[in-house]
A and B are shown apart, each in its own frame.
Chain A
Amino acid sequence: MTPQEFIAYEARLLDEARYDDWLTLFAADGRYWVPLKGAAQAEGEPHNALADEDHLLLSLRVQRLKNPKAHSQHPRSRSQHVLQVSQQLKGDAYSCELHTPFLYIESRGSRQLLLAGSATHRLVRAGDAWRIRLKRVDLLDAGEPLPAIQLFP
């Protein structure tokens, strides 16, 4: 898989609700980060995030989604990522960084939520596969009042 193919594959796993498979794409020290200021937030700035999850918290999220007592998943949420072509910002054979603008739709019952933003993926090579060291999601409206976002933009 090229890094670009990897990004498309990652989104597909999410939209097909294959969360356990999705988790395996993360490196052991991988991080999923949705900063509260969106793209304006510098890395390391002491500012909050809508989500900032290491492997443990991501697993917690995935476990919870599987739990029949996850009340907010009755009915289930569905997601659709509409990705622009990923741009490779830097990289070599062992690591790379890509920028992918997207539209994200999350729907549940008859209610639909549309979010726009861009993702930055920092990938590392692990054997013959890519792994996510960082997935940073910059939402256009990160600091605005938002309804519940239950899955993974």
Chain B
Amino acid sequence: MALTRKDIQALVQDDRVHRDLYVSQELFALEQRHFFANTWQFVGHASQVPAAGDYFSVEIASQPLLMVRQADGGIRVLHNRCAHKGMPLSTDACGNTGKFWRCPYHAWTYKLDGTPLAFPMKKGYEGTRMPESEAGQGMGAVKDVEVYRDFVFCKFSEGGPDFRSFFGGVLAAIDNLVDRSPTGKLRVEGGILRNVIHCNWKMYLENINDTVHPQSAHESATQAANLLWQGKPADEPKPMAMEQILPFGAGYDFFDRMGGRVYPNGHSMLGVNFSIHSGYAQVPEYEAALQAAHGAERTAEILQRSPQNSVFFPSLAVKSSPQAIRVIRPLAADRTLVEAWSFRVDGAPDLLFERSMTYNRLVFSPMSVVAHDDVHLFESIQQGLQSDHNEWVSLHRDFDASELEGGTREVNGTNELLMRNQFRAWARYMTVDME
């Protein structure tokens, strides 16, 4: 029997969620049609397609897509499917298509915006129903696309919230990242680290907001780092790797005091007061460049905010320092692609770019020493949830009935509200267009 709206809503209670959210393939299939279609997904960054005809292929909720720079400078997101028989217009990860698309199978062509241009043996279609059918309409573009300070998002379904009302206050995290450039420009550089993790995507996303696990989960990495660093004089400059790994060993109190904020629709910001990134060495020449662009007061404001993570529910997590994002691409109920992207900040010294790449390599690479324990835990939990002994996952910590009113709220950094908030949004957008 098909799951109804009521069945699904019953899986998300005020203070706990049912394991089916993580393990059910049936729910995963429904997520593709309902949840992902009704929410805004991160597609890519404008710097990946600088010139007209540049494209970047991406798959979102099983949909093969192309993010394409248009002749007029705009960006479109096209369905990567030939209108004729379904051949993708490109099977490369990225490239430049020139002035138009040309299908390798029977040479139908399309303009950069996906509208039909021409096809061979035109006569054979005269008097047929092809021109009025889907085949005659071209590749098709995703209608709802928003480019926010060069970050490209899209939404598949026609209804649902517009971009601004969906993300609301959390957009400040992208602002903070972009404002770190004296010229307001970032470029994706240095390559994308790609991980396949055998766990549900929500488990990964939930962990981005989990500050209680580092002390126990990352003990092996932080103990090893401490062992190698102990006895060094306090004023000895730390190698970048140590500067980035050691703070993972901070205690419960540190993470609790860093503070968190939830926004409507599942978004959140962790580390609103300070974070494990707050202690990175200052770079005077960079600060001077920022001050020249923004003024001293604004510069101080930009630099003193370095949240641990800002979650753009459900597909993006942003670190404004060290200029890194994670993109979450669900593949199956028990398989998730997690990408770590680095940014070069225009007008800033190389050191910042190295910081971004080093952080991603140390913490989010398939060969990362920090991530091995996380990945092991996620993949094991996926197994552990098979236990019929207890079908519920606890999210009780710091529950407060008044939080059910919703809205933007500030809480302590270890509060599981940041996760409850994600699941409430999940239940809402999963069922909003269901009977």
Contact = CB atoms under 8 A, between A and B. Distances in A.
Interface of A: 34, 36-37, 46-52, 56-57, 59-61, 63-64, 67, 69-72, 74, 143-150
Contacts of B20: none
B28 interface: no
B190 A47 contact: yes
Given A48-B190, A148-B371, A71 B377 contact: yes
A8 B337 CA distance: 35
A148 B369 contact: no
B357 interface: yes
A145 B196 contact: yes
Contacts of A46: 189-190, 350, 353, 357
Contacts of A56: 228, 239, 241-242
Contact of A63 (B189, B224, B353): B224
B372 A148 contact: yes
Interface string B197-231: 11000000000000000000101110111011000
B5 interface: no
B220 A145 contact: no
Interface in B235-256: 239, 241-242, 245
Contacts of B353: 46
A46 B354 CA distance: 8
Contacts of A36: 190-191, 193
A72 B366 contact: no
B373 A147 contact: no
A34 B198 CA distance: 23
Interface string B340-357: 001000000010010001
Contact of A71 (B189, B223, B376): B376
B424 interface: no
Assign chain B's interface to a size class.
35 or more
B373 A71 contact: yes
B308 interface: no
B115 interface: no
B361 A51 contact: yes
Nearest to A108: B376
Contacts, number: 105
6 contacts: A50-B366, A50-B367, A60-B225, A64-B369, A71-B377, A147-B366
Contacts of B223: 63-64, 67, 69
Contact of B360 (A48, A57, A69, A144): A48
Contact of B241 (A57, A63, A71): A57
A52 B361 contact: yes
B193 A67 contact: no
B373 A70 contact: yes
The 8 residue pairs across chains A and B that have the minimum distance between CB atoms: A72-B376, A63-B224, A70-B220, A72-B372, A146-B366, A145-B194, A67-B220, A64-B224
A147 B337 CA distance: 10
A30 to B, nearest CB: 15
Nearest to B221: A64
* Interface-centre pick from B197, B198, B357, B369 (highest chain A CB count, 10 A): B369
Contacts of A74: 376
Contacts of A146: 194-196, 366
Nearest to B242: A56
A105 to B, nearest CB: 16
B174 interface: no
A150 B367 CA distance: 6
A61 to B, nearest CB: 6
B194 A144 contact: yes
B80 interface: no
Given A60-B225, A61-B369, A150-B372, 10 more contacts: A51-B365, A57-B241, A59-B228, A64-B220, A64-B369, A146-B196, A146-B366, A147-B366, A147-B375, A148-B366
